[in-house]
Chains A and B, each alone.
Chain A
């Protein structure tokens, strides 16, 4: 009982500190916005951002573009995950292929993917296909590497146990490999989803006529700063929620 009481007091302190920090940030923001030190609407009042947020969330245009981006991202993730998990399993199961090809996947993974966008446009046109391709390509690396690593990290004793019970290949896959790899695969999907969202949206900002990335550029050209803040906050919240959701399933 004493211990439980102690923990809840500490959590209350954490909550209080978070509130305090948030208040300080909001206060500083509001002070900056009212000081008149910044040009135009660069630092708009929180009230204006709030109003824009409400307007945005009531606007059908937002949902139409959200739908486009969501669909592109889901397709990108599906393609990237299909290719990534397959590649990961092959590289994780076969030492020869791992040594032959994994360095390429590993060293290409931290390169700036967005610069491949011109090539994607040449291959797939200016429509959603080029964004999906770019997103899939980005997601592929994280998922393949995570799956391959997960495959190799399976405790060899589990595999020996399976063999000792004379499990066949199918049983080994379903009863041993898959459960043991759930966490690394889901983690790969989480990372892949993150980069797919970013690259799809960046592609849309660069060249497109629909999607949330396109909407960002529309609002930017109108110089509607409160609207830009509102849209970016919404996108961050959505991306964070998706990340947290997959992360929740990836926990043991």
Chain B
């Protein structure tokens, strides 16, 4: 909670007492339960929790895809209830357009804004270069690996220069080594742009490797269990994974997560046995 006291930097994003319930009558499920935290300008915050902690719901609320919720997600004084131009979203699933080349994918948001062709190619080129795909501009997504496609999606989101980069487990489908290396790329870009970033994840090492702060969520209903400051030095690389401090943070957060994850596991096992009993 100490981090919340530190109000010296301006809050870019305020999540204030957000509640989201699904269903009606007796089958009501509270996915997000009185969640509050802030993301400061230039800060990298991760939200971590087991499956079923409501983190994807939170992602959709902050992204404005889920307008109907209680409480407030605020950018400045504006409460978000629809997609906001200041928020750029990167989705968990592969989301490149298969009918567009890499550069046309990345230039897509600029095309919607009516930016002139030469300028949008220049700007797209800049961000493709930044994610390290300069030699693949003319390739179609089908010619790229999973990790490269996610980098295209990230470049496509960065190109419209959102104030807040919002990512939902963008590396979930990738193997561990690729994930660590892409983490380096993300850290590098974030430091270069001083990009305010909110990452939704269930991966502990990824969260510790990338974040300034980590919001730990409880299993259903999703509440904030704890907020942990990660005081690892910056600039940071994936080498940090080997350090004692890193191991200490991982162990500390795992302590919190273990209980939540086992509750989630018990829940899904009892649901499975109910299904089996009903035949």
Q: Which residues of A contact B27 (CB under 8 A)?
A: 2
Q: Which residues of B contact A2 (CB under 8 A)?
A: 24-25, 27
Q: Which residues of A contact B25 (CB under 8 A)?
A: 2
Interface residues of B in 87-131 (CB under 8 A from A): none
User: In the complex, what's the smallest C-beta–C-beta distance from B192 to chain A, in angstroms?
Assistant: 46
Chain A to chain B contacts (Cβ below 8 Å), 3 pairs: A2-B24, A2-B25, A2-B27
A2–B24 alpha-carbon span in the complex (Å): 9
A2–B25 alpha-carbon span in the complex (Å): 9
A2–B23 alpha-carbon span in the complex (Å): 10
A2–B26 alpha-carbon span in the complex (Å): 10
Number of A-B contacts (CB under 8 A): 3
**Main SS class of interface, A:** helix
User: In the complex, what's the smallest C-beta–C-beta distance from B28 to chain A, in angstroms?
Assistant: 11
User: In the complex, what's the smallest C-beta–C-beta distance from A1 to chain B, in angstroms?
Assistant: 9
Flag B7-38 by CB within 8 Å of A: 1 or 0 each.
00000000000000000110100000000000
Flag A1-38 by CB within 8 Å of B: 1 or 0 each.
01000000000000000000000000000000000000
| Chain B minimum-CB-distance residue to A3 | B27
| Chain A minimum-CB-distance residue to B23 | A2
| Chain A minimum-CB-distance residue to B25 | A2
A181–B140 alpha-carbon span in the complex (Å): 36
| Chain B minimum-CB-distance residue to A1 | B25
| Chain B minimum-CB-distance residue to A2 | B25
User: In the complex, what's the smallest C-beta–C-beta distance from B108 to chain A, in angstroms?
Assistant: 36
| Chain A minimum-CB-distance residue to B24 | A2
A2–B27 alpha-carbon span in the complex (Å): 10
By Cβ-Cβ distance, the 3 closest A-B pairs, closest first, are: A2-B25, A2-B24, A2-B27
A157–B25 alpha-carbon span in the complex (Å): 45
User: In the complex, what's the smallest C-beta–C-beta distance from A132 to chain B, in angstroms?
Assistant: 47
A127–B24 alpha-carbon span in the complex (Å): 69
User: In the complex, what's the smallest C-beta–C-beta distance from A81 to chain B, in angstroms?
Assistant: 37
User: In the complex, what's the smallest C-beta–C-beta distance from B90 to chain A, in angstroms?
Assistant: 33
User: In the complex, what's the smallest C-beta–C-beta distance from B208 to chain A, in angstroms?
Assistant: 38
User: In the complex, what's the smallest C-beta–C-beta distance from B193 to chain A, in angstroms?
Assistant: 46
User: In the complex, what's the smallest C-beta–C-beta distance from B266 to chain A, in angstroms?
Assistant: 26
User: In the complex, what's the smallest C-beta–C-beta distance from B127 to chain A, in angstroms?
Assistant: 41
User: In the complex, what's the smallest C-beta–C-beta distance from A216 to chain B, in angstroms?
Assistant: 47
Q: Which residues of A contact B24 (CB under 8 A)?
A: 2
User: In the complex, what's the smallest C-beta–C-beta distance from B41 to chain A, in angstroms?
Assistant: 45
